A and B are shown apart, each in its own frame.
Chain A
């Protein structure tokens, strides 16, 4: 396989060289009419099984309406997704339509890989999007991504486990991070080694750390893409994670790392081996299906103790079109279908987040399952503050840097304080390197 990769990399280099020579010629026009010829669009996304099924149904609907357009779906797990996107992008073989994340959108947009969707306005209806929501996918006035849905960070609690151990559900309107610790401890004690209180944070997502900073009125980055995260906040964050592991509130480090690397369906929440976990509220449906347990969304701890709520509306993901797509008009039409078609929305529901399209949000309200309703209600009721700046170009490795530091702390290879200093330094140097 290494040989395969090496050869793949060789192709990449070769193709990109020829591509830069051939870049002058272009295919169809983003503002032109839709073609009547037979064309194939490639559409890629990451996600779990539930998403793949729903998305395929919507693709089938689109193809029925546009018999000359074939949409080929390509889906992967989160990790493989970004590796493969980088590779295909460099090989000038990028899919036409991409599911894009906040972490990467600046990195791709600033390297010129994404189409300014304004060029395809004729085919892409954004009338029902709030300007603020649209702005989350724009950089310097260019619309590189159309926000799909909104999500919020939350605590997911397994009610079945709490009921089993006779532990009351905590009052989440004013609980603190210490409260989470102590109730987690009760669960772990009752669980007897098979079930733990808290699924350890800090492995898959830097949002948890960002939330901690925001609750104290700070942030990860400032407007100029400088890392302004105070070292004490990062230190306290890792100290907290270390305490969870050491006191047995979270599973032992090697179990935590194993489960976290194995994807959503293998997570502690999905396997019913931890009562509390940090997740995006919109993952409630997928996790309920995977765990078969009754899960409930709780507000984040520490929201009332700090200076500001840490919670915010995060665009769960964007639809982006490759700047090198041969069929930008058709790709935009497909994106428009995904974003505006009510029938499509009734299948997709809130699996990719509560729709950012306000008309669609209302149109599907009656259709929602209990878990989807709960996710929407969470979004409608929980207090938030302004969202953080978009993850700057170069910092798309933020999550993996965080994961490595968490592992170093969990396995005693460094102290929380040293991890905090090293993390800040490394993220800053990544941002600087991309300039």
Chain B
């Protein structure tokens, strides 16, 4: 009895907050809300406001004002339109390629591999995440140079590997973001009860039918979760295009080129990937898979 009294006496803060529900809620949310609103949203908002400003043609200084020209240029300059479409297609290709690699790998790891193989593969997938992002891009650059690994390996067969171009950008981005797809897919497949596979085969389904009819529907939420990463991260990237794309221009390249030269256009262009991701999430929501994430 006496111990509980001393305990309560030792925790004046808890006692104080216990009586004040609103203050309790405030103290719980103050820090994350400050982060989300004060740092995250505010900085984004300030960036986006710049999109309505313009640049003095004489001194190329940014003038605070209101114009929609920057947005109009996104839809009227042919180079901008083609860059947006190219970037969208690259991001979709990266996502598709990641799914193509992640599903068979996930099935093998979760259902077939011995525990030590599974662990080794899990480490192999996550290991590249430990290396710097730029290091990995430069590594891809070195591998695909004219005198790099691929040409060296293909030379005995009289072949030469691809030079820096859009396919290499897709490969590089897939290399960068693959773990974000592989891990959720692997986890989702692991959670499928083994007896579902037995049931499927009892009903006469062969391997591919089981994957298509049983596994895929169950892991769609994981694929959507992974694709949000692979898709949105690819949309915003420009270093992969810069180092492995040859003359490939992506949305990020335009933003990077304009960030000092014409900040309002850069800000307006940063809306494009945002719009793409919002549309993507809305489509994903319609499939109902966001609720099950």
Q: Do A and B belong to a common assembly?
A: no
B residues neighboring A (CB under 8 Å): none
On A, residues with C-beta under 8 Å from B are none
